[in-house]
Structure 1
């Protein structure tokens, strides 16, 4: 069968769908590839208790008394209970994109720091953002930024490993 322009377009579209589908699976596995937003001494997301976003509905400072090492970072928690919840299922509580700014990952295909107070839980996943202004931009099209962020994240991990 000769390759027509239509055949090539259909094959290209199918290939892209397959590639994007695979990337979405990679982004959803929770494997952050060791790319975690952390302090110079290795504490993830500035020591904020990631479980508290889900259980208390707000950012809560973690403590060096309650820690769990995961994916090359030390995660701090406000209680032994929160630490144990995280240890049992880190991917359920860890922020998407390693705690880097969700807007920057989706819009700019880059990494940026985050503020604990700039957050949202979407479809049972935690997303953090750089500051109030960025959070407002991200809030205008969360689904779009998440979809693009899921596509961009594997390349950011590969480029920073």
Structure 2
């Protein structure tokens, strides 16, 4: 009985930690309502409300039923890095900054989103500076800020 109680506690704790990540859900959806699957085809396309689902307490929209089905079969493959906040800002300042959903990069099979407004395109800065170094910094910073 004691082992069952410990196992249930560990499962509950894991679920609580997994769901405590702060996701960028501007407009009520991850990636501002853009289809996170289609990014992997090199495109940024807004999703449709009628093709939506939730994962880890976050809503996602999709542009096609096929993309919705792909997401449902393997959601972690498509979830944006750093909760969908600007990867460059997480790396450089350790801050959560909103994104332009049409400014993105797929690197090593992962989706990174960026801020892009006026004369500031952080994807350009990311690629000019050193994506590998910035990615390492962002990974470290995200561990500190993801639950805040």
* 1:137 to 1:92, Cα distance in 2 relative to 1, 3 A: same
Give the TM-score taking structure 2 as reference length.
Answer: 0.80
Runs of 4+ with >4 A deviation: none
Give the TM-score taking structure 1 as reference length.
Answer: 0.74
| Structure 1 residue 32: Cα displacement | 7.3
Structure 1 unmatched ranges of 5 or more: 1-30
1:133 is aligned to 2:121: yes
1:87 is aligned to 2:76: no
| Structure 1 residue 154: Cα displacement | 1.5
* 1:130 to 1:45, Cα distance in 2 relative to 1, 3 A: same
Bigger shift: residues 129-138 or 75-84: 129-138
Alignment of 1:19-98 (within 5 A): 33-39=20-26, 42-54=28-40, 56-98=41-83
The answer as to whether partners of 1:34 and 1:71 remain within 8 angstroms in 2 is no
Structure 2 unmatched ranges of 5 or more: 1-17
Question: How far does the alpha carbon of each residue in 1:41-90 deviate from its partner, in whole angstroms, 9 at most, with x for none?
Answer: x3111100000011x31101100011110122110000111011111111
Q: Secondary structure of the residue that 1:37 maps to in structure 2?
A: coil
Aligned position for 1:148: 137
The answer as to whether partners of 1:34 and 1:72 remain within 8 angstroms in 2 is no
CA RMSD of aligned residues (A): 1.5
| Structure 1 residue 137: Cα displacement | 0.8
| Structure 1 residue 39: Cα displacement | 2.2
The answer as to whether partners of 2:82 and 2:146 remain within 8 angstroms in 1 is no
Q: Which structure has the bigger radius of gyration?
A: 1
